[in-house]
Structure 1
Amino acid sequence: MHKVIVLGTGPAGLTAAIYLARANMKPIVIEGMEPGGQLTLTTEVENFPGFPEGIMGPDLMENMRKQAERFGAEFLKGWVRKVDLSKRPFKVFVDGQADLESETLIISTGASAKRLGIPGEKENTGRGVSTCATCDGFFFRGKKVIVVGGGDSAMEEANFLTKFATEVRIVHRRNELRASKIMQDRARNNNKITWSLNSTPIEVVAAENRVTGLKVRNNETGNEEILETDGLFVAIGHTPNTGFLEGQIQTDEMGYITVKPGSTETNVLGVFACGDVQDHKYRQAITAAGTGCMAALDCEKFLEGNAIHDWSLVLKS
């Protein structure tokens, strides 16, 4: 039996673990197959406060983990197969570990960016391929970039990137965009944005460890060409990592966990959610960390009046 289990080790989960450990709550933190979350896939992070010269994404996450461990957080590797939230204590079933029980649960499993699944994409992530314009746009000042996608997110990222890039080309596999009319109009009225519609990306081209182009196929003619670019931003959406919950937590139509306004409380008493798994708008390391802090404080306050065990006796023993 544990006081609290944290699922996920991105900025939200690790911040929650730091606060919980400092409150002597001895959190158990479950690491998935990609410890550290999406920041481990990035290179330099320049917009996280406290690092005037920037810091590498994996280094930032390793520092957060060490900080949590310093205060007594315990980390377990494994994949959460499922959870049982029908009653407290909650049950957590982890591959490679004994089944766990906890009085409370903090879900910080994040959201995974959808990928194109084409050659050169994965191996050049962090070397010119990105899924976050607000994170990486600054690195492309004075350069040409491509945004792949046809929804609101793609239009928003393209407009944002025009603050830095000399040219932003939108590539979409259809002739028509899925984006709302107002977002389409903003993009079409931006003279820095060019268009390659009805074009399907088929390969990311790179040389000397950097992206140099995107090979596309015209869907009408079948002709292939390489669009020269310094960077590729994939903006085809995100998938919240909530499948293991099997519908036990209330989510929105996109699958993101719904929390009570101004808190991290879910519809299940004693279960809290933080980070990108409940945030489809901002998706930043600093906002995720902020909600991780909120979840820890919400969890601690909840246990003050809803503890199952007398933990003072457990700790003395």
Structure 2
Amino acid sequence: MYKAIVIGTGPAGLTAAIYLARANLNPLVIEGMEPGGQLTTTTEVENFPGFPQGIMGPELMDQMRKQAERFGAKFRSGWVQEVDFGTRPFKLTLEGGEALESETVIISTGASAKYLGIPGEKENVGRGVSTCATCDGFFFRGKKIIVIGGGDSAMEEASFLTRFAASVTVVHRRDELRASKIMQDRARGNEKVEWALNRTPIEVSTDEQGAVTGLKVRNNATQEEELIPADGIFIAIGHTPNTKFLGGQIVTDEHGYIIVQPGTTMTNVEGVFACGDVQDTRYRQAITAAGSGCMAALDCEKLLEGAMVRDWSETLNP
């Protein structure tokens, strides 16, 4: 029996673990399939406060983990396959069938960027391929960039990247965009944005040193293949929140993101909290995730102390 279990070890989960451990709640942290979260696939992080010279993503996560361990947090490898939030204590079943019980649970399982599944893509993440313009755009000053996608996120990232890049080429497999008219108009009105529509990405091209040189695409009208030169490729086809294991016991939006009471991290189940990208559809930054992890730990601590007033579940479960 644990007082608190944290599921996930990105910036949100590790910050929650630090706060819970310092409150002598002895949390157990389940590492999941990607210990450290998305930052472990990032090279240099320059926008996390406290590191004026920047810090490597894996190193930042390792330091946060050590800080949590210093105060008494325990870590368990593996991932949660099933949960039972029907009654407290809550029950969690890990891979292999191991069962755990806890008075409270903090869900910080994040959201995974969607990938195209083409050669040269995942192996070059952090080395010219990115899924976050606000994270990595700075590294491509004066460079040629490709943004893959046709929705609002792609248009927003393309417009944002023009602050740094010499040019931004939007690649989309259809000849029409899915983005809203206002977002399309904004991108089309930007002289730095170029268009390669009705083209299907085939492969990320690199040179002998492993540097990204462009994107090989197929022209859907002519079936001919061509190479679009670029120094960086940003994939903007959406994210998938890691919430399937919850089995519908936690209220989510139509995309699977957990809904929390505004201004808190409380879900529809008393004693279950959510923080980080699993409930954030807007910011998706390491620092905002860490901040929400702090909130989740404080909310959790208050509930365990009996100081939290609950009426949110009635709103989500009329």
TM-score interval, smaller chain = over 0.9
1:44-72 Cα deviation digits (max 9, x unpaired): 00000000000000000000000000000
**Structure 1 gaps, min length 5:** 308-317
Cα pair 1:78 1:96 within 8 Å, conserved:
no
Q: Structure 2: which amino acid aligns with 1:55? A: I
Q: Is 1:285–2:286 an aligned residue pair?
A: yes
| Alignment correspondent of 1:20 | 20
Distance 2:2 2:210 in 1: 46
Q: Structure 2: which amino acid aligns with 1:267? A: N
Q: Measure how far apart 1:79 and its partner are.
A: 1.5
Distance 2:295 2:238 in 1: 26
Q: Is 1:196–2:196 an aligned residue pair?
A: yes
| Structural mapping, 1:175-186, within 5 Å | 175-186=175-186
SS of equivalent residue, structure 1 residue 305: coil
| Alignment correspondent of 1:228 | 229
Q: Structure 1: which amino acid aligns with 2:157? A: E
| Alignment correspondent of 1:219 | 220
| Alignment correspondent of 1:252 | 253
Q: Measure how far apart 1:33 and its partner are.
A: 1.6
Q: Measure how far apart 1:210 and its partner are.
A: 1.3
Distance 2:219 2:109 in 1: 38
| Structural mapping, 1:231-242, within 5 Å | 231-242=232-243
1:100-157 Cα deviation digits (max 9, x unpaired): 0000000000000000100000111110000000000000001000000000000000
Q: Structure 2: which amino acid aligns with 1:2? A: Y
Cα pair 1:78 1:97 within 8 Å, conserved:
no
**Structure 2 gaps, min length 5:** 309-318
Q: Structure 1: which amino acid aligns with 2:52? A: P
Distance 1:106 1:256 in 2: 14
| Alignment correspondent of 1:81 | 81
SS of equivalent residue, structure 1 residue 252: coil
| Alignment correspondent of 2:315 | none
Q: Structure 1: which amino acid aligns with 2:38? A: Q
Q: Measure how far apart 1:96 and its partner are.
A: 4.2
| Structural mapping, 1:38-57, within 5 Å | 38-57=38-57
SS of equivalent residue, structure 1 residue 103: strand
| Alignment correspondent of 2:69 | 69
SS of equivalent residue, structure 2 residue 261: coil
Q: How many residues align?
A: 307
| Alignment correspondent of 1:297 | 298
Q: More displaced, 201-210 or 136-145? A: 201-210
Q: Structure 2: which amino acid aligns with 1:158? A: A
Q: Structure 2: which amino acid aligns with 1:93? A: T
Distance 1:209 1:298 in 2: 46
| Structural mapping, 1:125-140, within 5 Å | 125-140=125-140
| Alignment correspondent of 1:121 | 121
- Give the ranges of 4+ consecutive aligned residues of structure 1 lying more than 2 Å apart after TM superposition: none
User: Percent identity, aligned pairs only?
Assistant: 76
- TM-score, length of structure 2 as denominator length: 0.95
Q: Measure how far apart 1:306 and its partner are.
A: 7.8
Q: Measure how far apart 1:280 and its partner are.
A: 1.1
| Alignment correspondent of 1:312 | none
| Alignment correspondent of 2:9 | 9
Q: Measure how far apart 1:209 and its partner are.
A: 2.0
1:246-304 Cα deviation digits (max 9, x unpaired): 10000011110000000000000000000000001100000000000000000000000
1:80-101 Cα deviation digits (max 9, x unpaired): 1010000100001011473100
Distance 1:299 1:20 in 2: 8
Q: Is 1:152–2:120 an aligned residue pair?
A: no
Q: Measure how far apart 1:193 and its partner are.
A: 0.1
Q: Structure 2: which amino acid aligns with 1:238? A: H
